[in-house]
Amino acid sequence: MRDDVEMVGTGDDGERAWTLLTNHGRVLLLIARDPDVRIRDLAVAAGITERAVQMIVTDLEHAGYVIKERVGRRNAYTINRDRPFRHRAESDHSVGELIDLFSSDPAPPFTRPAAGQVLP
């Protein structure tokens, strides 16, 4: 989790608090970053309860997105990157594409070219 990103507020300014990613998507991305992550750490990183994370991981397992394997006293997760998105509007894309999008290095910030300057 980046330290320079502000967490979603409670909407005290009159606006509803919301994010573009669902908790399911967020947990999937967190597992992709660290396949040996603990439920407790997922909950903290996602900003939700451990119980909610357990339910999400179970949903992801049952839908075939995640395989959970017991390793000693911990779990390790494997993501089925070829699994398509569930909604028909995105079903022609795989979750691997989403993971790649969020795991690649961020693009440098856009700088407007000076007058007369041509971008390469």
SS (H, E, C) the chain: CCCCCCCCCCCCCCCCCCCCCCHHHHHHHHHHHCCCCCHHHHHHHHCCCHHHHHHHHHHHHHCCCEEEEEECCEEEEEECCCCECCCCCCCCCEHHHHHHHHHCCCCCCCCCCCCCCCCC
- Euclidean distance between CA atoms 61 and 77, whole angstroms: 10
**In this predicted model, what pLDDT tens digit does every residue of 25-82 receive, in sequence order?**
999 999 999 999 999 999 999 999 999 999 999 999 999 999 999 999 999 999 999 9
Query: Does residue 94 have a pLDDT over 80?
Result: yes
Domain boundaries, the chain: 23-103
Rounded to two decimals, what is the model's pTM?
A: 0.74
In sequence order, what are the beta bridge partners of 75? 70
pLDDT score for 9: 56
114 pLDDT band (50/70/90 cuts)?
A: low
Query: Does residue 1 have a pLDDT over 50?
Result: no
Query: Does residue 4 have a pLDDT over 50?
Result: no
In sequence order, what are the beta bridge partners of 84? 94
pLDDT score for 3: 47
Q: If you average pLDDT over each of 50-54, 93-97, 111-115, which comes out highest?
A: 50-54
- Euclidean distance between CA atoms 100 and 84, whole angstroms: 14
Fold observed for domain 23-103:
Arc Repressor Mutant, subunit A (1.10.10)
Tokens of 63: 């839908």
